């Protein structure tokens, strides 16, 4: 995300709307940083839930404890490779003697290989890979580290990172840990749909990010709220669309895109069904309500 970065080790920002603090990455020049857990700074082993505006790849070669990603608890038995996507909530639990490398970079750094953005987000849905031995992944991370410390060119770093991402995608999926308690899953889902900056507008996307199946998410959310995740997502999309129509000058097409609709006509049908009026009619009513009485 362009322009949303802070230096490694800088305290996280607490979002105004509540929720976990947001860690941003700020480096001079190229939006990429690589180092050990010690050199990147104390936030690389943060024990409190937080999220990032950037991608993080962790190559863990030593340590004990656990890494919790979107409520899923992954016990340490190094070596591991872990991918954390922008927006995912994670923290270390009881981690001691962490060793390995941390790679931090924004979407902007992937300009030579833009398809890696989607690949990284898919990896974030299954974020933990246990390696049989350091092998090719370890050698590739070491090569990236050497190139970075030598002040290597961004194009070389991008090429090596691309190879790492592709090879990570080839790793066998590690069996997921036991699901989080039902109440925690429902609470996390409700918290997530209250955000408007995540761009997740489907139940499956939320389930993938939380680390449960859509069926399990539907079961626990309905038990906790009396309503289905689909109903809550529709309401969240409608609320966000209403906010954008009432408080911005975005066109209906732009508003549709902001709430996940590629087809403005379909968005208009959705909005009319959910809000009882067209997007244009809703905007006109809000403008009329704001005009002073004569």
Tell me the C-alpha distance between 68 and 92, whole Å.
6
Beta carbons within 10 angstroms of residue 77's beta carbon: 10
What are the boundaries of each domain within the chain? Answer: 22-170, 182-290
Tens of pLDDT, residue by residue over 21-55, are 788 887 777 899 999 999 998 888 998 878 889 99
Structural domain 182-290, CATH architecture: Orthogonal Bundle (1.10)
Return the structure tokens found at 86.
């922008």
294 vs 148, which has greater pLDDT?
148
Return the structure tokens found at 221.
């959310």
Contact 33, 25 (CB under 8 A): yes
Tens of pLDDT, residue by residue over 227-269, are 899 999 999 999 999 989 998 999 999 999 999 999 999 999 9
Class of domain 22-170: mainly beta
Tens of pLDDT, residue by residue over 86-111, are 988 888 988 999 999 999 999 999 98
């Amino acid at each position: 995300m362009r322009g949303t970065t802070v230096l490694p080790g800088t305290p996280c920002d607490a979002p105004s709307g509540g929720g976990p603090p947001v860690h941003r990455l700020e480096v001079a020049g190229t939006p990429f940083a690589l180092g050990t857990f010690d050199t990147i700074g104390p936030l690389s082993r943060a024990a409190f839930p937080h999220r990032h505006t950037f991608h993080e790849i962790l190559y863990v070669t030593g340590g004990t404890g656990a890494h919790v990603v979107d409520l899923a608890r992954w016990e340490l038995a190094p070596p591991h490779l872990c991918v954390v996507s922008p927006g995912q909530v994670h923290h270390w639990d009881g981690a001691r003697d962490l060793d390995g490398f941390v790679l931090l970079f924004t979407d902007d750094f992937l300009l030579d290989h833009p398809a890696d953005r989607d690949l990284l987000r898919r990896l974030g849905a299954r974020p933990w890979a246990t390696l049989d031995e350091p092998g090719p992944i370890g050698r590739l991370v070491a090569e990236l580290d050497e190139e970075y410390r030598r002040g290597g060119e961004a194009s070389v770093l991008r090429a090596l990172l691309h190879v790492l991402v592709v090879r990570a995608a080839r790793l066998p999926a590690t069996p997921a840990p036991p699901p989080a308690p039902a109440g925690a899953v429902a609470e996390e889902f409700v918290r997530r749909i209250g955000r408007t900056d995540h761009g997740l507008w489907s139940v499956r996307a939320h389930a993938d990010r939380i680390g449960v199946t859509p069926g399990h998410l539907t079961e626990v959310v309905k038990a906790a709220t009396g309503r289905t995740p689909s109903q809550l997502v529709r309401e969240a999309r409608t609320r966000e669309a209403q906010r954008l129509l009432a408080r911005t000058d975005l066109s209906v097409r732009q508003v549709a895109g902001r709430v996940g609709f590629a087809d403005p006509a379909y968005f208009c049908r959705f909005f009319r069904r959910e809000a009882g009026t067209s997007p244009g009619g809703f905007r006109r009513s809000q403008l009329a309500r704001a005009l002073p009485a004569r």
